[in-house]
A and B are shown apart, each in its own frame.
Chain A
């Protein structure tokens, strides 16, 4: 039971780094994947989270939950990813997942025109019903099969620009742009957590008081 009291040795302090070398800010974001069935939503997540790809990814019946943390600049961004079922019969449940999400990736299959149209419907629905600040990315998946594409890159890009979406063609199979699209989302998300970056400024002027005054609100 007895433990020796530890002196506050080096390293036990709560280091705050000024910009440039800091890794202290950390944010958590809810991200949801939407899109028609079999466009590769789960594969994108699997590639992003585990670096894997399964040729025969089983169909998602429900909503899979995974987390992945990435570092951008001085911020640790943790994504809570909800990978939803794409089948139309589950459509009515989608609002439960995109509601409260800070980011969404709407996925279509570049070989499938219908899936692109469906993606547009998703974007419309998100604009109407999701949080107004939601960051939406459009992912044209299966880009490794671009020789048999039916959705032109420029067409999707133009659509994305008109609707202020991030856009990339991705391939869960090769890994192309998979990390990049998540990274782009992380960059676009607001990361202002005021309470986490106190105490990093050092004032060059002397301060002769013994102890900072309490600024408690009493």
Chain B
């Protein structure tokens, strides 16, 4: 983690760092080694990407995960969308480009299944980029060093690339849904010789309207559109001219269907316009353009090429319009121009010209006829033999044969006159002084599969230029998705992926889903073990899920282990410990009141289901933790009650009681009273009241069975039992008046509240005070100690505890009732509950 350090991608600083946010997207044992901000060029805009180099401890492997995100700075993990996943396996490659200035800031990522995918980065990120690359290389080399026998584990990546998996599967089954659809492509080229566009609307119809069937796509290339000098002087004029040409072209295409301009692109005087049938538009998924400038200094752009790339359904089509170097002797320069265009032209998605299924190259290629003596001028227009003879000397064909240019391209048969050079306005070849030799400058070539040329011709009766326009018509079979079949295949693939995911879900089986502790007794820990088995062919991680109580289980339970891994075919024993003791009894009794179980644990299988484990048992009721009211409703020893019966008594809100005060309490007071001074050291301190020694359970049983025998413990254990009896119930004895009593300053005021307590509580309180007062009077107990300890127990309060003088108020209150003066008042208001104590043990209690 150190390595990421303070590196925060540009523009991504925020309250929570991007790293923290991205980290949330990953599992605990997946570590982000580096975060690098890059971008991809998608359509007209850049798309930001966050590349996370991640290592998985469980998989022992590395991967790069590319995220797209909605905004910067990132504010939440939801804004991250996984865009690509690259496993760093042996096929993984990070390829850097080093051509030209723009491409210095780009690189490709690829794996056997995917890519190469191009990423760009901002120049300011260069340093981070170097660090990123170094880390990627070190990850890759650590992969290479691993034992070739071991299969790299990239299972962890499946969580991040489900959609990618679907895509791969779909690609594999392509043949099931791919059909080939015929479309007509009309290519046209014309060197317009800087002449303005003609005025009448369908002036170009004879050039662009030559196909019988209405074409689906037109690619129209013009060269020498305006002059370079003019172009630099007046750009609005150029715009107007471009607009006019485009308008004329779209007016002059086949009249039967509606067309629109999809894209045009211009490099100085070279313009390429793609016009498509309106209906076709929705099937065109991408359209990109690019140009390569050549000409003066190889940069000015008076020569060069422009190209438009488009994706129609599943087919990629590229049109190139080029104007190559002129003049008879410049064959080599023309070849160089061609090669410069082929090498230099790369669309923004990284595609080159040759990365297309169907390529159409048109333009004024400027290749001439290597003057055969006496044959410079062709004869009659229909003289096929003459064309054939001339073409033997055609530089383009010669160079193509030599493999110097247009490798892999095809050109149809030429059955028209050389298209250059005419006296403008006529069909006559150059009559000027220069007497330029006629040539087939204007050509249309193609490369790719499933292309059939239907026509290739020039138009003689368009005369304003020194070139004649040329057109070619093609029938192309475009790879197309049959949407119905595709949907069917896609659904099948999705189903298969779901099925695989569901069927390969990690499974564990548990020996039992109900853990029954049987009889559970107060202050007697007990435990149960149960087994979990791995019942699937994969290693499985399991853990107990944290519940809304912020723990995996209730306080009275302990689970060990809380999480673990299970290898294939292995089992693990899980131990659950149950502790119904002074610390947990209050919560446990509350749970028993509202539920028929002690707890439900959630056993979670990583990437799989949850199993509920119900923990039950039969709690043997004891006096500890029960309210005075509940105890006063009992008519027999607590050991004779079942959990269900005590649950019923705990939930009983009636005002009817079997006794005036709990017999267990009365027995303890009685015993302590008789022991008098034998209670050495008086009562336990508040702090030590809950530490029980091992003999305590005999005291518990003596109380819970109403045993007739002598008290089995020491006076100290009786004192402790008394404190616990008062302290363990959910409500303190003086509830609901704790706050009022803490605030009351006089005994009489306090008595008003005491009188309102429930009879069992009131009686217990009065009896207790009487007993304590007597002990203090006899100097058996220390007044201060008793006041402090009992005050805090009887007036227990989590709210008032925060008061600065809470402890003082507690003991002051107690003093009101246990100091000798004022005793008479107390006795008068006592409804005789204490009488039993005076008259002798158990006298007023029903048996």
- Residue numbers of A with Cβ under 8 A of B are 1, 3, 5-18, 20-21, 23, 26, 49-50, 61-71, 76, 78, 85, 89-90, 92-93, 95-96, 193-196, 198-204, 206-208, 210-212, 214-218
Let me know if B357 and A3 touch, CB within 8 A: no
Q: Give bound CA distance, A3 to B94, whole Å.
A: 12
**B163 interface residue, CB < 8 Å from A?**
yes
Among candidates B354, B498, B610, residue contacting A49 with C-beta atoms closer than 8 Å: B498
**Cα distance A201–B265 in the bound complex, in angstroms:** 17
Residues in A neighbouring B826, C-beta threshold 8 A? none
CB closest residue in chain B, given A88: B596
Stretch from B345-353, B670-678, B704-712 that touches the partner: B345-353
A95 to chain B, nearest CB (A): 7
Which chain A residues lie closer than 8 Å to B357 at the CB level? Answer: 10
Contact B315 A90 (CB under 8 A): no
Give the contact stretch, choosing among B42-50, B457-465, B645-653.
Answer: B42-50
**Does any Cβ of A come within 8 Å of B69's Cβ?**
yes
Contact yes or no, A63 B609, CB < 8 A: yes
Known A71-B494, A199-B45; 16 more pairs at CB < 8 Å: A10-B314, A21-B481, A67-B501, A76-B166, A89-B600, A95-B548, A96-B602, A198-B42, A198-B47, A198-B68, A199-B42, A203-B44, A216-B39, A216-B48, A217-B10, A218-B10
Asked if A215 and B45 sit within 8 Å, CB to CB, the answer is yes
Query: A8 vs B40: C-alpha distance in the bound complex, in angstroms?
Result: 15
The answer, among B351, B502, B548, for a CB contact under 8 Å with A67, is B502
Which residues of A sit under 8 angstroms from B284, Cβ to Cβ?
Answer: 202
Q: Given the interface contacts A61-B513, A71-B494, A89-B614, does A194 sit within 8 Å of B70 by beta carbon?
A: yes
Taken together as a complex, chains A and B put the C-alpha atoms of A62 and B507 apart, in Å, by: 13
- Complex: A63 Cα to B547 Cα, angstroms: 14
Q: How far is the CA of A10 from the CA of B494 in the complex (A)?
A: 24
- Cβ–Cβ < 8 Å partners of B118 in chain A: 8
Structural contact, B70 and A195, CB atoms closer than 8 A? yes
B residues in contact with A20, CB < 8 Å: 282
Stretch at the interface among B255-263, B320-328, B364-372: B255-263
**Min CB–CB distance A9 → chain B (angstroms):** 6
Contact A15 B285 (CB under 8 A): yes
Tell me the complex Cα distance, A67–B497, Å.
10
> What 5 pairs between A and B have smallest CB-CB spacing?
A199-B43, A199-B42, A62-B611, A217-B11, A69-B494
Least Cβ distance of B507 to chain A in Å?
A: 11
Kindly report which residue of chain A lies nearest to residue B483, judged by CB atoms: A21
B91 sits at the interface (CB 8 A): yes
Q: How far in angstroms is the closest Cβ of chain A from B314?
A: 8
Chain B minimum-CB-distance residue to A61: B513
| Bound: A4/B602 CA distance, A | 50
Q: How far does the alpha carbon of A168 sit from the alpha carbon of B495 in the complex, in Å?
A: 24
A207 in contact with B44 (CB, 8 Å): yes
| Alpha-carbon gap, A23 to B314, bound state (A) | 13
Q: Provided the pairs A61-B513, A67-B502 are in contact, do residues A200 and B43 lie with their beta carbons within 8 angstroms? A: yes
**Contact B348–A69 (Cβ < 8 Å):** no
CB of B81 within 8 Å of the partner chain: yes
B356 CB within 8 Å of chain A = yes
Set of chain B residues within 8 Å of A85, measured between Cβ atoms? 612
A211 and B611 alpha carbons, distance in the complex (Å): 56
Residue B162 interfacial (CB < 8 Å): yes
- What residues of chain A lie closer than 8 Å to B596, measured between beta carbons? 89
Q: What residues of chain A lie closer than 8 Å to B48, measured between beta carbons?
A: 216
20 contacts between A and B (CB under 8 A): A3-B90, A3-B112, A5-B95, A8-B355, A10-B357, A18-B285, A21-B481, A50-B499, A62-B610, A63-B612, A65-B505, A67-B502, A71-B487, A76-B166, A196-B68, A198-B42, A198-B45, A212-B41, A212-B46, A217-B11
Please name all residues of chain B whose beta carbon is closer than 8 Å to the beta carbon of A69 when the two chains form the complex: 166, 494-495, 497-498
How extensive is the interface on chain B, given as a class? 35 or more
The answer to whether A202 and B72 have CB atoms under 8 Å apart is: no
How far apart sit A12 and B93, CA to CA, in the bound complex (Å)? 15
**Least Cβ–Cβ distance between A19 and chain B, in angstroms:** 8
Given known contacts A61-B612, A69-B498, A89 and B547 CB-to-CB distance under 8 angstroms? no
Known A3-B91, A202-B263: A76·B285 in contact at CB below 8 Å: no
A22 to chain B, nearest CB (A): 9
Q: How far is the CA of A210 from the CA of B286 in the complex (A)?
A: 17
| Residues from chain A with Cβ under 8 Å of B602 in the complex | 62, 93, 96
Contact A13 B43 (CB under 8 A): no
**B497: chain A residues within 8 A (beta carbon):** 69
Q: Which chain A residue shows the least CB distance to B110?
A: A6
Q: B640 on the interface (CB 8 Å rule)?
A: no
Cβ contacts under 8 Å, B166 to chain A: 69, 76
For A62, the chain B residues whose CB sits under 8 A away are 513, 602-603, 609-612
- Of all chain B residues, the one with the shortest Cβ separation from A13 is B349
Contacts of A14 in B (CB 8 A): 42, 117
B455 to chain A, nearest CB (A): 27
Which A residue sits closest to B84, measured CB to CB? Answer: A14
Contacts of A68 in B (CB 8 A): 498
Find the A residue at minimum CB distance from B122: A216
Q: Which residues of the partner chain B approach A199 to less than 8 Å between Cβ atoms? A: 42-45, 47, 286
Taking the closest CB of chain A, its distance from the CB of B194, in whole angstroms, is 19
- CB 8 Å contact bits of B111-138 with A (1 = contact, 0 = none): 0101111100010100000000000000
> Quick one: which of B239-261 are within 8 Å of A by CB?
242, 260-261
Bound complex: CA of A95 vs CA of B311, how far in Å?
Answer: 49
Indicate which residue in A5, A10, A201 contacts B356 across the interface (CB closer than 8 Å). Answer: A10
Is B102 positioned at the interface, with any CB of A under 8 Å from its CB? yes
- Contact between A214 and B505 (Cβ–Cβ < 8 Å)? no
- Judge if B655 is at the interface, Cβ distance under 8 Å: no
- In the complex with contacts A3-B93, A21-B282, A214-B46 CB distance below 8 A: yes
| B72–A195 CB distance below 8 A | no
Contact B10 A208 (CB under 8 A): no
Q: Is the CB of A195 within 8 A of B69?
A: yes
Given known contacts A202-B287, A218-B11, A93 and B46 CB-to-CB distance under 8 angstroms = no
Assembled-state Cα–Cα distance A95/B122 (Å)? 46
Q: Do the beta carbons of B595 and A211 come within 8 Å of each other?
A: no
B266 touches A206 (CB 8 A): yes
B90 to chain A: closest residue by CB:
A1
A70 surroundings in chain B (CB, below 8 A): 491, 494
User: Measured between alpha carbons, how far is A53 from B611 in the docked complex, in Å?
Assistant: 22
Query: Roughly how many angstroms separate A63 CA and B495 CA in the complex, as a whole number?
Result: 22
Q: A71-B487, A206-B265 are in contact. Are A216 and B46 (CB under 8 A)?
A: yes
B42 near A96: Cβ-Cβ < 8 Å: no
Q: Please encode chain B, from 68 to 100, with 1 for each CB lying within 8 Å of some chain A CB and 0 for all others.
A: 111010000001010000000011010100000
* Chain B residues, Cβ within 8 Å of A215: 45-46
- In Å, the complex CA distance between A206 and B263 comes to 6
How many Å from the CB of A60 to the closest CB on chain B?
A: 9
Q: Are A204 and B286 within 8 A (Cβ)?
A: no
Nearest A residue to B261, CB-CB: A204
Q: Which residues of A contact B41 (CB under 8 A)?
A: 211-212
**With an 8 A cutoff between CB atoms, is B316 at the interface?**
yes
Q: Compute how far the CA of A218 lies from the CA of B117 in the bound complex, rounded to whole angstroms.
A: 25
- Separation of A215 and B501 alpha carbons in the complex (Å): 40
* B568 close to A (CB within 8 Å): no
* Given A8-B355, A93-B602, A211 contacting B285 (CB threshold 8 A): no
Given contacts A17-B285, A70-B494, contact A61 B611 (CB under 8 A): yes
Residues of chain A contacted by B39 (CB below 8 angstroms): 214, 216
Distance between Cα atoms of A90 and B163 in the complex (Å): 35
Chain A proximity of B821: nearest CB distance (Å): 53
| Distance in angstroms between the alpha carbons of A206 and B239 in the assembled complex | 10
A23 engages B282 (CB within 8 Å): no
- By a CB distance below 8 angstroms, the chain A residues around B93 are 3, 5
Does B695 touch A at the CB level, under 8 Å?
no
Q: Which of A92, A198, A206 contacts B264 (CB 8 A)?
A: A206
**Cβ of A212: which chain B residues have Cβ within 8 Å of it?**
41, 44-46, 348
B597 in the interface, Cβ–Cβ < 8 Å?
Answer: yes
Most chain A beta-carbon neighbours within 10 Å: one of B42, B261, B314, B356: B42
Instruction: Tell me, rounded to whole Å, the shortest Cβ–Cβ distance linking A102 to chain B.
Output: 12
Complex interface bits, B37-63 against A, C-beta within 8 A gives 1, otherwise 0: 001011111111000000000000000
